[in-house]
Structure 1
């Protein structure tokens, strides 16, 4: 008959450090110093940067193609990225102090963001005459990648 090992017999690779103890409260000065070391980026600033990137892509589409349809397609691609992101930010900045509600709210607004983006792509051929899918998708991709710049704005 084989003996089963109990969970208490399992080897532990980490030292017992009393992780159950609550974290010490920070003084006002300590909290301000921590915020100064780790600045946050406004989500509205990221949405604005997405819009600027979209306008730059529209200008680039004009320079490359000299076709108004490519510019309108690029503009619609920017809108299909920026408007859903703005909805997400609006929903998330209304604020709640309950962590569980914030997590559920984030999931809800992210689902709304994805749904709106998909809906905008689905109706793109009806909204933009002579739609240029490469211009639309390239602009949308550039606008979505602007989110990564927020990490660079924060610094190390």
Structure 2
């Protein structure tokens, strides 16, 4: 009978071995320099920027069309992004979420589910809350606020 290799041995190759040998842990100073060079983006900064962008989109909608319904619809579209994003930011920045890597992963999945559920519920309630509702304006507000995440990534690179 031949002895079966462990699963990790089956997939291991020379490049993996070389990569493992070349990895050197960072010193405290090197880690600090890396954090300063590439700082993390606060989720609250992203939420605040989304609020500002949502207000601008709603104001531009009202100025271009002269209809308040367009502004309210765009503002509600922004809220569909901001409210769930703020809930997730609150959940992910709590002490419980950062206790251990496992807790962080479960917390992330839980808050992501909450974020999606709240977004879907808000979209389903939109026709009852905003009257008259302009779906195109709502979608413009929603999409523009979602794209703020890319702006946050651009800030991080500076």
TM-score (norm 1): 0.86
1 CA distance for matches of 2:12 and 2:117?
47
Deviation at 1:16, TM superposition (A): 2.2
Map 1:36-51 to 2 at 5 A.
Answer: 36-51=36-51
Q: Alpha carbons of 1:73 and 1:15: their partners in 2 closer, same or farther (altered >3 Å)?
A: closer
Give the gaps of 5 or more residues in structure 1.
Answer: none
Task: Provide the residue aligned with 2:17 in structure 1.
Answer: 16
Q: Does the residue aligned with 1:70 lie in a helix, a strand or coil?
A: helix
Tell whether 2:139 aligns with 1:106: no
Give the 3-state SS of the residue equivalent to 2:117 in structure 1.
helix
Question: Is the alpha carbon distance of 1:134 and 1:18 closer, same or farther for their aligned partners in structure 2, counting shifts above 3 Å?
Answer: closer
Q: Name stretches of at least 5 consecutive residues in structure 2 with no aligned partner.
A: none
| Structure in which a larger fraction of residues adopt helix | 2
Aligned to 2:78: 78
Q: TM-score, normalised by structure 2?
A: 0.85
Number of equivalent positions: 151
User: C-alpha root-mean-square deviation of aligned residues, in Å?
Assistant: 2.5
Tell me how far apart the structure 2 counterparts of residues 139 and 52 of structure 1 sit (CA, whole Å): 11
Displacement of 1:21: 10
Q: List structure 1 runs of 4+ shifted beyond 4 angstroms.
A: 6-11, 20-23
